[in-house]
Amino acid sequence: MSMSETLEQVSANKCFGGWLKRYRHHARALDCEMTFSIYLPPQAEQGKVPLLWWLSGLTCTDENFMQKAGAQRVAAELGMVIVCPDTSPRGLDLPGEHDSYDFGSGAGFYVNATQKPWSRHYRMYDYVNDELPSVVRQHFPVNGREAISGHSMGGHGALVMALRQPGRFASVSAFAPVVNPSVVPWGKKAFGNYLGDDRGLWTQYDACELVAKGASRQPLFIDQGENDDFLEEQLKPENLEAACEKRDHPLTLRRQPGYDHSYYFIATFIEEHLRYHARHLKIA
Amino acid sequence: MSMSETLEQVSANKCFGGWLKRYRHHARALDCEMTFSIYLPPQAEQGKVPLLWWLSGLTCTDENFMQKAGAQRVAAELGMVIVCPDTSPRGLDLPGEHDSYDFGSGAGFYVNATQKPWSRHYRMYDYVNDELPSVVRQHFPVNGREAISGHSMGGHGALVMALRQPGRFASVSAFAPVVNPSVVPWGKKAFGNYLGDDRGLWTQYDACELVAKGASRQPLFIDQGENDDFLEEQLKPENLEAACEKRDHPLTLRRQPGYDHSYYFIATFIEEHLRYHARHLKIA
């Protein structure tokens, strides 16, 4: 077994009859040590079960969702593994890497960077899309059926990964996703630094652009709080609505009155998202 | 309106159709500014509802339970306000106050200190038992029915407050409580410093001693993880079992295999506790 296939268990907490575990491993795609969280429902002790990927937002680690969303209760009922990757490479000290909350550490934006000094490590698309799934399939009782969801920057990641790979995920959903990063401050800063000026490359990581290209027909299920402080400047769900309408792309966008960008919003609606994914994963 | 009755809203997050709010106020009992969290279920917009007090454990603030336990979902269904006080006075800088996790800030142990320098501020029993309830009743739609629960040091606080005041709370429960602080390291350190050598005073803050005195007949409902790292040295549920057996005091102590001291344990069983309290509060 090569070093890259070795998992070191960091912690294990019994939770709703299953186990929440954290593992550290060497990520080849990122050339650094990474930690991820995995919730194994009670059903995983009897056989293989489907898997939901959760991609977190800016400043998060692999822990926030597991601590705050309350998803394990429903995953334990449905028999669903949940995996939360971290949101950027860790343990490095690249110039400026830790200077801002919306770029560098905690802000990998699920892209493969092409620009120095980021291109050596900041390859979160490959890590989350290929390397970590391979590790998970090798070490845990998953049955090959996968769905994906995420929040904010992670909602962007989930939409992009699903739209670029028709058929890869049984279903995709998002909470307050960055749907059009090419035109908003968070995205322009991240893409400019990670990807440089190649606007053609930007479009491969932009849900609105991917819908416009019409590569996938997969339905999109999105919840968005109407009192979200980032709604108008960074999230712009109306841009995705327009893109979907133009291509007749199936979109369910629910605007939730009073809800903000926090995990209290996610906790409120995560059960509906998990049950949506369970139907597509054929376990409900 | 006096200064002590003024509440400053710190934040508000919509959550499961209700609102999680944080308020800052001047606590007379503690002679400092304090922050508390309150969850107002949707039913509180229509009329008065019952109230559950949640007392947190060592190192916690008013926020941990609201972020990690997932209780708002059930409280929103049942129509129950939840209030989480902080775990000690704040904003002070007494000698040694911030030196250890199990004494001073974050570790008020819900006692009224008699020893200098703690006696001026560390009066958490009066704050949680009298002053904050008065503030809550004055400002929020609560109907006078109250229950109490807590975790670890907060489980100790909940048991002590209920046992000392028969009839005050409709019901009491606890997760991994410190049931016999007078004889364990956490309690001996805290009581020795806050209360001095007066062992008679210690007994007023010790659930095992209060049961032994037989002052109350209120049933105790407790969950305890069998893989809790603090079980043998600090928690000693067997001491409470013995005290209850001797006095024929009603006790439901559930030992949960595999569970530890974390909020993942609390999250797993909080729904059963809330439904237990709801029955006693006459809303289920």
Query: What are the sequence ranges of the domains in chain B?
Result: 8-281
| pLDDT < 70 stretches in chain A | 1-4
pLDDT given for residue B264 in this prediction: 98
Instruction: State the average pLDDT over residues B45-74.
Output: 98
pLDDT digits (tens, 9 = 90+) for B263-272: 999 999 999 9
pLDDT digits (tens, 9 = 90+) for B230-248: 999 999 999 999 999 999 9
Across the interface, do B67 and A72 touch by the CB < 8 Å criterion? no
Domain A8-281 CATH superfamily: Alpha/Beta hydrolase fold, catalytic domain (3.40.50.1820)
Across the interface, do B264 and A17 touch by the CB < 8 Å criterion? no
Instruction: State the average pLDDT over residues B9-27.
Output: 98
Instruction: Quote the DSSP letter at residue B1.
Output: -
Q: What phi and psi, each to the nearest 5 degrees, are found at residue B171?
A: -160, 160
pLDDT given for residue B3 in this prediction: 45
The yes-or-no verdict on residue B65 having pLDDT over 80 is: yes
pLDDT given for residue A1 in this prediction: 42
Report the share of chain B in percent with pLDDT over 90.
97
Contacts B259 to A, Cβ<8 Å: 14
Burial (CB < 10 A; 0-12, 13-18, 19+), residue B235, is buried
Q: Which of B10, B11, B14, B64 to mutate to test the interface with A (most CBs of A within 10 A)?
A: B14
- Is the ipTM of this structure higher than 0.85? yes
Closest chain B residue to A270 measured between Cα atoms?
B16
Instruction: State the average pLDDT over residues B74-92.
Output: 98
Across the interface, do A15 and B68 touch by the CB < 8 Å criterion? no
Q: How far is B117 from chain A (nearest CA, A)?
A: 37
Cis amide linkage into residue B257, ω under 30° from 0: no
Across the interface, do A13 and B265 touch by the CB < 8 Å criterion? yes
Contacts A225 to B, Cβ<8 Å: 14
Global pTM reads 0.96
| CA separation for the pair A236, A34 (Å, rounded) | 32
pLDDT given for residue A284 in this prediction: 79
pLDDT digits (tens, 9 = 90+) for B169-207: 999 999 999 999 999 999 999 999 999 999 999 999 999
CB nearest B267 (choices: A15, A258, A264): A15
Is the CB of residue A266 less than 8 Å from the CB of residue A56? Answer: no
pLDDT given for residue A272 in this prediction: 98
Across the interface, do B70 and A67 touch by the CB < 8 Å criterion? no
Show which of residues 55-114 on chain A sit within 8 Å of chain B, judged by CB atoms.
Answer: 67-68, 70, 72-73
> Does B265 lie at the interface with A, CB-CB under 8 angstroms?
yes
| CA separation for the pair A275, A179 (Å, rounded) | 23
